[in-house]
Amino acid sequence: MKLGNLIIAGIVTGSIYAAFAACVALWYRVSNILNLAVGDFAMMGALGVDDLVRVKHWAIAPAILVMLAAVAVGAYVYDRVVLGLAQDGRTRQEGIVVTFFFTFALSFFLEGLAEVLYGTDVHAAPDLWAGPSLNVFASGLHIERAGVLVVGFAAVVGLALAVFMRRTLRGKAVEACGENYLGARIVGIDNRQYRRLLFVLSAVLAAVFGILESPITGYTFNSGASISLTGFLAAAFAGFQKPGKAVVAGLSIGLLEAILGGYVSAQYGDTLLYAILAAAVLIRPSAMGLDVALD
Amino acid sequence: MTDSAGGRGGATAVAPGSGDGASSQPAALRVADLSVSYGRVAAVHDVSFSIDEGECVALIGPNGNGKSSIVMGIAGLVARGGHVEIFGRTAPPANVMFMSRHGLTLVPERRQLYPQLSVADNVILGCYSRTRSLRKARTSDSYRRALTLFPELEGHMKQKAGTLSGGQQQMVAIARGLAADPRILAVDEPCLGLAETVGKRVYDALAGIHADGRTLLIVEEAPVRALQLATRQVEVRNGVVVRGSE
């Protein structure tokens, strides 16, 4: 029973990691830039919906739609103004500064904005599926309703992204953009259009996950960094290249974390987890695609 | 390819700015006063030449004299000044899609493949300018023809392109270019870094493409093979055409 509940908890946590990893990997695949603001988009979605519903007394559906639209517009403007200046000019900026720091600044900006708008308290978007936790097949195993939504949405998004990348010419064009900027342009692929579209899409997906997940963990204005870190970590184990693999990596990390926390040490579970992950990277970087990412 | 015309030996040099030239058909490609700069450095100045449909033209000259910049400017990959016409239509600057849709595809220097993608994916992305459907691309005649030109690739379709030999990568790059079903194929340094026998195989393939009725523009620093295939040459030195503009 204990193991079953740990596995369920691990799947829910892993789905959260998987979702943000998919967002990070998706955009990295097209731009070779790590989206370290992905967690902040999730935080803005959750805190924004909470504010509109709880403080301003909006109905939940329009509140969600307005916040998703706001996130989409914000991501679009950032791409046009900042990323466009760096990537679309006569001299295209490349290298580690672009890869790591272009979205880091956005993360800080969103964190500050959230502090001003929503304060420093813990917030959560309203439960979309309120009620007591579910007893899985009357087996005594329990899962929170918000957890079911998170797992379901992560599965749908992971599957959709995997199909998009593997089974469509546009998905292959996305991969080509990240593989070779000039090579993609030669066959007529509009790198800028894909970069912009997927930045906005990954921001909106992150916001949806934030809205679904915040009832489980609760968010503050500075939750974004830790969310991005979990996404970054799981995406790293997919070499930042494959959103589908990133989902699997996220789920695995979540499961490992839950089992270590349950059976080894609740206090040192995270420490053990990171030690295992670090050892895995050192032993077999190629198996996880990290050599590609580092290259 | 349905629009084959002309053939080897039918070259008619057209003076820049002379409209449709000597023939009643517009030139396949007409370049007038083309210039390309990188920042303050001018790489190409006032280059003019034209190519009739079915010709094979060798663009030759020493390394670093602007040959690649000329084809990059024509293909829309770098900003350029001057005037470029393709089959009578004026091309907007820096618009790869326009050139591709109107029949010009570039096989660039150093191939510019997608190393982590499979050979099949590399070639099929050549169809991108014509369709967004993977199914249509896979069943297209141009994709099939591009692959049949290089039977050497048959056993490597699922292999990552970055793991192929230089010669095989060049074949993939040419196949990707052909998958776009171009009327004009521009090939930049097709034998760069390749062994003698592999270079010969690449040129055999280019001869086959030309015999199929396609117009070829071959950029070469070491032009012995290119001049054997070409019906005409345009020589570039210091970013200026010194021979073959007319």
Give the CATH number, domain containing residue B88. 3.40.50.300
Residue B80 lies in a domain: yes
Question: Which domain does B47 fall in, by range?
Answer: 10-103+217-246
User: What does the pLDDT read at residue A246?
Assistant: 84
Residue B97 lies in a domain: yes
pLDDT tens column, B213-228 = 999 999 999 888 899 9
| Distance to chain A for B174, nearest Cα, Å | 12
| Distance to chain B for A113, nearest Cα, Å | 38
Residue B119 lies in a domain: no
For B114, the closest of A90, A170, A175 (CB atoms) is: A175
Residue B65 lies in a domain: yes
User: What does the pLDDT read at residue A142?
Assistant: 87
Domains in chain A with CATH codes: 2-294 (1.10.3470)
Residue B87 lies in a domain: yes
> Does the CB of A206 have a partner CB in chain B at under 8 Å?
no
Quote the number of domains for chain B: 1
For B132, the closest of A167, A169, A182 (CB atoms) is: A169
Q: In this prediction, what percent of chain B has a pLDDT beyond 90? A: 81
Query: Which run of H or E residues covers position B5?
Result: none
> Does the CB of A92 have a partner CB in chain B at under 8 Å?
no
Which residues in chain A have their CB less than 8 angstroms from residue B112's CB? Answer: 180, 182-183, 186
The stretch B159-177 carries a mean pLDDT of 97
Preferred mutation among A169, A177, A191, A194 to probe B, highest tally of B CBs within 10 A: A169
User: What does the pLDDT read at residue B7?
Assistant: 34
Could B112 and A169 be called an inter-chain contact, meaning their C-beta atoms sit closer than 8 Å? Answer: no
User: What does the pLDDT read at residue B121?
Assistant: 97
Which residues in chain B have their CB less than 8 angstroms from residue A292's CB? Answer: 116
User: What does the pLDDT read at residue B19?
Assistant: 40
Tens of pLDDT along chain A (295 residues) come to 678 889 999 999 899 989 999 998 889 889 888 888 999 999 999 999 999 999 999 999 999 999 999 999 999 999 998 888 877 766 666 666 676 778 888 999 999 999 999 999 999 999 999 888 888 877 788 899 999 999 999 999 988 998 999 999 999 999 999 999 999 999 999 999 999 999 999 999 999 999 999 999 899 999 999 888 888 888 887 777 778 888 888 898 889 888 888 888 877 777 877 787 778 777 766 655 555 544 4
Which residues in chain A have their CB less than 8 angstroms from residue B96's CB? Answer: 185-186, 188
User: What does the pLDDT read at residue A280?
Assistant: 75
The stretch B143-165 carries a mean pLDDT of 96
Could B121 and A190 be called an inter-chain contact, meaning their C-beta atoms sit closer than 8 Å? Answer: no
From A93-107, A157-171, B98-112, B119-133, the region with the lowest mean pLDDT: A93-107
Residue B131 lies in a domain: no
pLDDT tens column, B10-26 = 333 333 334 444 446 78
Which residues in chain B have their CB less than 8 angstroms from residue A187's CB? Answer: 100, 105, 125-126, 128-129, 176, 180
> Does the CB of A90 have a partner CB in chain B at under 8 Å?
yes
